[in-house]
Homo-oligomer: A and B are copies of this chain.
Amino acid sequence: MEAGSSRYGSPEAAESQQLRGTNQSGMRDHNERLVLSLVRQSGALAKSDIARMTGLSAQTVSVIMRELEVEGLLLRQEPVRGKIGQPSIPMALNPEGAFFIGLKIGRRSAELVLIDFLGNSRAMLQNSYGYPTPRDTIDFVKSGIAEMRASLTREQDKRIAGLGVAMPFELWNWVDTAGAPREIMDEWRNRDIRADLQALFSFPVYVQNDATSACGAELVFGDIGTLRDFVYFYIGAFAGGGVVLNGRLYSGPTGNAGALGSMPVPGPGGRPTQLIDVASIAVLEKSLNAKGIEASYLWTSPEEWSDLGPELDSWIATASDALAYAIVASASVIDFESAVIDGWMPPAIRARMVQAVQSAIGKIDVEGLRIPSVREGTVGIHARAMGGASLPLSERFLIGSTAPSRGV
């Protein structure tokens, strides 16, 4: 069985690759998603605002938004007075409009998160382990989701729109690094985890690369302003990335776009190495362990690391040099506006890394390029699970990138 392309995907992944025609329901669907996307971006918008922004007629927008209000996806806000003319009525997303579940499968732990339509976390569960097994993971999901659903009203439960799973690319190749038995890893390789989970639930189940998911969380829930094209790095036990093009998460033909951990970079002494070998928490842990420093709190308390001394400083330095290099290389493939860095680390450390990366970029020859600005991620440590949850949200309620032309 071919791995990869069949690993990631959605219920309809198979047919979506084909070029399809558009009909009226496709047109309406597109316009509805457009309205929801704009309202999400702006907080709240009046129908007349939407009409201006989309070029649709006021009447069309009126019909669409009334329907979205009836469906419980939009909430009427207080009329805005003070301007000439009839006061406008901003429409905001209804937090209770839909719910989404995200699952992150990591090297040391799994996370389940339940979020509402605005991306607020409503419940979160964790499960730690030495290494993940399919059986335990499915048990965790089964009981965890049951517990979460018990906290919802019947009305809310009906509005669960899907489960998104964020997991690493070819997790079964961890044999060496994770200290897991080969037969467990082979189980991961040979099992279709998406299908197994789909069998448990009536809502759709999606699977996506974990770092790509984190990137999706930044896109949908993060504070990115008008940013529409960026490259994203998530520094966890390993390092990975994601790519946003034209306001849309781009996961690539095989779902492995943004495999930035595998980017070749000049290592210590100029010898080429992979980004993941210098810019990951696992490397930091190893260097601490080598000095006899116990560092398991790196995994357990990402909100606050204790004083780490010079090992941390030199890790930040080498990791940032490599990240700077990877950003420049990425910018020569796609002219990203920004590079966003987040990870399983305290915000203060993240801020130091961003600063270090910015100054490291200054030392690289960037002629012929527009260098993306470097910023911190705004979602933080739970970005992967949140990103999993963002997947059904995007699939169901958000718009694709290239706007179909409106015609004249």
Contacts and interface: CB of A to CB of B under 8 A. Distances in A.
A53 B20 CA distance: 7
Interface string A270-302: 111111100000000000000000000000000
A329 interface: yes
A253 B337 CA distance: 8
Chain copies in the assembled complex: 2
Given A365-B273, A406-B20, A329 B26 contact: no
Interface in A394-408: 399-408
A248 B402 CA distance: 11
Contacts of A173: 367-368
A266 interface: yes
Interface in A245-274: 245-248, 250, 252-264, 266, 270-274
B21 A31 contact: yes
Contacts of A191: none
19 contacts: A19-B403, A23-B407, A26-B405, A27-B407, A29-B405, A245-B250, A246-B253, A252-B335, A253-B335, A257-B334, A259-B332, A260-B333, A264-B329, A264-B365, A272-B365, A274-B368, A275-B332, A329-B329, A400-B404
Nearest to A271: B270
Secondary structure class of chain A's binding surface, majority of residues: loop
B19 A262 contact: no
Contacts of A261: 332, 368
Contact of A332 (B37, B263, B406): B263
Interface stretch (A54-62, A306-314, A344-352): A54-62
A334 B332 contact: no
A250 B334 contact: yes
Contact of A258 (B55, B256, B333): B333
A171 to B, nearest CB: 11
B404 A26 contact: yes
A333 B333 contact: yes
Contacts of A328: 264
A199 interface: no
A37 B19 CA distance: 10
A368 B299 CA distance: 23
Interface residues of A, number: 85
A22 B64 CA distance: 13
Contact of A405 (B20, B336, B406): B20
B334 A333 contact: yes
A34 interface: yes
A336 B75 CA distance: 42
Given A229-B252, A404-B30, A20 B55 contact: yes
Q: Which 8 A-B pairs have the closest CB atoms?
A: A25-B407, A21-B56, A262-B368, A26-B407, A21-B54, A252-B335, A263-B332, A400-B402
A21 B4 contact: no
A54 B20 contact: yes
Given A259-B369, A329-B263, A333-B243, A22 B30 contact: yes
A296 to B, nearest CB: 25
Interface string A153-177: 0000000000000000110010000
A320 interface: no
Given A264-B328, A329-B333, 4 more contacts: A24-B24, A30-B405, A250-B334, A333-B334
A247 to B, nearest CB: 8
